Amino acid sequence: MIKLRPVFWLLLPAVGVIFVFGAIPLLISLVYSFLTANPYGGVAMPPTFSSYVQMLFDQDFDGSLVFMPDYIWIAVRSLYLALLTTMLSLAVGFPVAWYIVCQSPNRRKVLLTLVSLPFWINTLIRTYCWILILRDEGLINGFLKWLGIIQHPLPLLYNQGAILLGLVYTFLPFMVLPIYATLERLDPRLIEAAYDLYANRWQLFRRVIWPLTKPGIAAGTVLVFAPALGAFLQPDLLGGGKQLLIGSLIEMQFTSSRNWPFGAALSMLVTFAVLVALAWQSRRSKAGAEARA
C-alpha cells in the first residue's frame, strides 16, 4: 500500500483549485473550439476545424476560401501592446522596487500598501477614472488650457497611447511586487564587495543586482504579459473600440457575435502564446542556472 506523505495533503487543496478553475475551463475551451457555432449562442455538433480556419481565411460568395489577414493584424497589435506594456512596467517597476527596498522597515510597509492599494478598487472604476482624466474636458486638458499652453484639447483618449497607459497602470503592481521580493533578499554585503572592487554603478547593476534579481523580473514579466495580452477592458473603454485587440475580439465572440467556437479558438491561441512565453522563460532560467553552476 502506497503511503502518502503529509506534503501531498497540504498541496491537495491548491492542486484541486488549479484543476477546477484552471484545467477544466481550458479543456472546455479546447473542446468548444472544435465544435460548430449555434446561431443563437452556444455550440453544436458536428466537430469541425472551421474556427481555426476562420483565423486566416474567409468564405467568398462561391464558397471558396480567401486569405484574410485582419485577425493576424489584431493578434500582432495585441502582442505588440502586451510586450510594450511589459517593458514599460519593468522600466518603471524596477526603480520603484529598488526605492522601496532602500527605505526603513516602517516606510516599506507604507509604500507597499500604496503599491497594492489599486487592488482594493475595482478595475472598471479605475479605468473610468482615466477617462475623466484624459477626455477633452478632463483634468489634463483643462489644466493645460488654464495655463494657456493649448487652445484646443489634445487627443489623449481613444488611441493606442491611452490603451497602453491603462494597461501599464493596471498591471504595474504585478511587476513591482515580485521584483521587490527578490531585492529584499539581496545580501547588501555583495554590493559593498562590488564597491570595494572599484565597480561603478553601471557595473554594479549589470553584474550584481540584475543577475540576482532575474527570478523576480521573470515572474513579473509573466504576470504582466499574460493578462495584458488578453485584456479587453482597457481597449474597450480607453480605446473607444477603435483599436480592436484580441481580448476584445474574444469578448465579442461570446456576446454580440454569438460565435462561441471562434471565441474559444482565439482564447486557445492566447493560451498557447502565454505557454510559449513561459517555456521560453523557463528555458532561459535553466540555461542561466547551468551556466552559473
26-84 pLDDT per residue, tens? 899 999 999 888 888 788 888 888 888 888 877 776 667 777 888 889 989 999 999 99
Please give the DSSP secondary-structure letter assigned to residue 208: I
Task: Judge contact between 218 and 281, C-beta under 8 A.
Answer: yes
Which pLDDT band, with edges at 50, 70 and 90, does 190 fall under?
Answer: confident
- Long-range contacts of 61-70, Cβ-Cβ distance < 8 Å, separation of 24 or more: none
**Cell 504582466 appears where?**
224
Cell numbers that stand for 100 in this block: 522601496
pLDDT (0 to 100) of residue 101: 92
Cell numbers that stand for 94 in this block: 524596477
Region of 235 on the Ramachandran plot (φ > 0 left; ψ -120 to 50 alpha; else beta)? alpha
φ, ψ at 193 (rounded to 5°) = -65, -40
Percent of residues, the chain, with pLDDT higher than 90:
25
pLDDT (0 to 100) of residue 292: 61
Return the higher-pLDDT residue of 215 and 89. Answer: 89
pLDDT (0 to 100) of residue 151: 85
Query: In 3-state terms, what secondary structure has residue 90?
Result: helix
Which pLDDT band, with edges at 50, 70 and 90, does 170 fall under?
Answer: very high
Return the higher-pLDDT residue of 267 and 290. Answer: 267
pLDDT (0 to 100) of residue 18: 84
Assign 3-state DSSP to the chain and report helix, strand, coil percentages, each to 5: 70, 5, 25
Which pLDDT band, with edges at 50, 70 and 90, does 276 fall under?
Answer: confident
Superfamily of domain 78-120+171-292: MetI-like (1.10.3720.10)
Alpha carbon distance 255, 50 (integer Å): 19
One-letter amino acid identity for 157? L
Alpha carbon distance 93, 225 (integer Å): 14
Q: How many helices (H) and strands (E) does the chain have?
A: 15, 4
Q: How many Cα atoms occupy the beta-carbon half-sphere of 163 within 13 Å?
A: 26
Q: Where are the domains of the chain?
A: 78-120+171-292
Mean pLDDT of the chain: 86
pLDDT (0 to 100) of residue 286: 73
pTM summary value: 0.86
Cell numbers that stand for 235 in this block: 481597449
pLDDT (0 to 100) of residue 2: 55
Strand partners, 67: 57
φ, ψ at 36 (rounded to 5°) = -95, 140
